[in-house]
Structure 1
Amino acid sequence: MKRQNLCGEHAAQSANGARMTASERFDAMSAALATSVGEREGLIGLVLLGSASDEARGRRDEWSDHDFFTLIETGRGAEIRPDLSWLPDYDRLVLTAREGDIGFVALYDDAHIFEFALADAEEVDGARAGDAAVVVDDKSGTTARLLARARARASEEDRFDPANDVRLVLVKLLIGVGRVRRGEALNGNAFIRQWAVQLLVRAIRGRFAAASTALRDTNDPMRRFELDFPIWGARIAAALDLPIEESALNLYQLARQILEPGWSEFPSRAADVVALRLGWT
């Protein structure tokens, strides 16, 4: 099936053979990826996501990687997924790995990363997308339709329930500290430094929704949180650098200091119960 490459042909290096800058290398890899997908039999679409897309290139820096999904002709996933030789500069890859059934990562010898899904339209039909660009599609526009649904879904789900999220913060902290005191430090760390923090960030974004700018990631509330809430982001990050129980206490205190004042939905009595149980009074 003929695919349409919507971003044109690529040049592997500058016309005079000079070494490419990081930005030029990134653009060259994007173009080469589009060409590779367009030429690979069985692949019908390519969507560049996040800072890999042109609309979000202003966020791109030296740490940006390529996030994308590549569409396979329906029913051919099992056949096509084992062979990644279509990736550009394949000889420069130092590793590839699977993430679930349809997710992949690829690492190049200059430490550049590809993170991508390789699936047919049905397999990624539940996906969400924010900044994105279709660069390869089939004649019927399968990829464009999929992206439109993914964007609509992200918009619908870009909502928070801060009252519920802050309740969960308290529970995760209580469980996490309990696990640590029981001797399960690894599991306790996950409850405190991972789940409680994610829920606290969600609660703050929901409680102060007007402060979240267009820079936010509609798929991951943790992304660029510090840009929208620089002071609170710095204080949460500092709390994570403390020993685990101090970290939990600081997160608890931040939840109360940031969210409780003037908010009738804050679970103050439950917060007092957690503090009493953990000896934080």
Structure 2
Amino acid sequence: MQPTLRRLDELATFLADRDDTLAVLGLGSAGAQRARLDEHSDLDFFVVVEDDARWRYVERIDWLEAPCPLLFSFAHERNGRKALYEDGVFVEYVVLTAAELARIPFCAARVVWRRADVPAGLAQSEAPMPRTPYDTVDFHLNEALTNLYVGLHRELRGERLSAFRFIQSHAVDRVVSLMRLSSGEAPYRDPFDVTRRVERAYPADVLPLAAMVPGYAHNTAAARTIFEWLGKRYPVHPGIGAAITALLTRSGDYS
């Protein structure tokens, strides 16, 4: 068995012997989408416990160390940790009660173990998944354009890191969302992160990410590439289009 999945099974076996645990759910590539598991995959999971037991599994990590000694760990949120085992398995987990689990959005979970009296539907979230305010071509297009506009102004002001985020991160996220709407759903799409597995979904001649994300020192070139890519595929409003062109011209990168 793949080491990551084996570690999850080992943890589940250990927790199954305790009377204050309800279930262990695998997520991501350790969940229902195990076909995408590879040597670079980490281990994401939920530990579901009795209402009065959460503190034990949050504050104490003896159960986490049961299968293998830890090389490193830290609390990355109030009820969860990230940890690296000595054998190289990296894990990220959250400890929840059943009531809390019912209120959070997640997808493609897998029941690794559950107590006999726990309903089988525990791995199905009924909480709404995160969505943009408007998941439409018009929204993503104009959001990308305004990201470019704001980012170019930040670049001209000398706020290069902020410009990088607006141009090479926020605008590119909207470009990927446009690709999803025009090309259909990519395999194993992650509703929490549009950038996951995007290289496998769209070839470089369709989505030139290397030119759209060339790095910290190349914000204007990235903005030009994204702006031209959008203009070839979608009706860019002449008002915002002219404003972006003027900013590119001021940057000495457009004619």
Give the secondary-structure state (helix, strand or coil) at the position aligned to 1:201.
Answer: helix
Give CA-to-partner distance per residue, 1:44-78, whole Å, 9 cap, x none: 1111112113x422211110111111112124434
Do 1:179 and 1:187's aligned partners in 2 also have CA atoms closer than 8 Å? yes
* Displacement after TM superposition at 1:157 (Å): 5.2
Give the equivalent residue in structure 2 for 1:3: none
Give the equivalent residue in structure 2 for 1:145: 121
Is 1:226 the counterpart of 2:199 in the alignment? yes
The change in CA–CA distance for 1:267 and 1:203 in structure 2 (over 3 A counts) is: farther
| Superposition misfits of 4+ residues, deviation over 6 angstroms | none
Give the secondary-structure state (helix, strand or coil) at the position aligned to 2:83.
Answer: strand
Query: In 1, distance between residues paired with 2:152 and 2:62?
Result: 47
Give CA-to-partner distance per residue, 1:203-241, whole Å, 9 cap, x none: 2212x143x243322333221122221235751234212
Is 1:177 the counterpart of 2:147 in the alignment? no
* Displacement after TM superposition at 1:37 (Å): 2.5
* Displacement after TM superposition at 1:90 (Å): 5.9
Amino acid at match of 2:30: A
The change in CA–CA distance for 1:41 and 1:241 in structure 2 (over 3 A counts) is: farther
Unmatched 5+ stretches in structure 1: 1-22
Query: In 2, distance between residues paired with 1:121 and 1:237?
Result: 44
TM-score, scaled to structure 1: 0.76
* Displacement after TM superposition at 1:192 (Å): 2.1
The change in CA–CA distance for 1:38 and 1:110 in structure 2 (over 3 A counts) is: same
Query: In 2, distance between residues paired with 1:233 and 1:132?
Result: 32
Is 1:254 the counterpart of 2:224 in the alignment? no
Give the equivalent residue in structure 2 for 1:163: 138
* Displacement after TM superposition at 1:89 (Å): 4.8
Give the equivalent residue in structure 2 for 1:8: none
* Displacement after TM superposition at 1:163 (Å): 1.4
- Aligned residues: percent identity? 24
Give the secondary-structure state (helix, strand or coil) at the position aligned to 1:87.
Answer: helix
The change in CA–CA distance for 1:122 and 1:176 in structure 2 (over 3 A counts) is: farther
Amino acid at match of 1:166: L
Aligned residue pairs, count? 248
* Displacement after TM superposition at 1:118 (Å): 1.5
Give the secondary-structure state (helix, strand or coil) at the position aligned to 1:149.
Answer: coil
Is 1:111 the counterpart of 2:81 in the alignment? no
Match of 2:9 among 18, 28, 31: 31
Query: In 1, distance between residues paired with 2:55 and 2:245?
Result: 52
* Displacement after TM superposition at 1:41 (Å): 4.6
The change in CA–CA distance for 1:173 and 1:110 in structure 2 (over 3 A counts) is: farther
The change in CA–CA distance for 1:73 and 1:275 in structure 2 (over 3 A counts) is: farther
Is 1:133 the counterpart of 2:110 in the alignment? yes
Do 2:107 and 2:125's aligned partners in 1 also have CA atoms closer than 8 Å? no
Unmatched 5+ stretches in structure 2: none
The change in CA–CA distance for 1:271 and 1:110 in structure 2 (over 3 A counts) is: farther
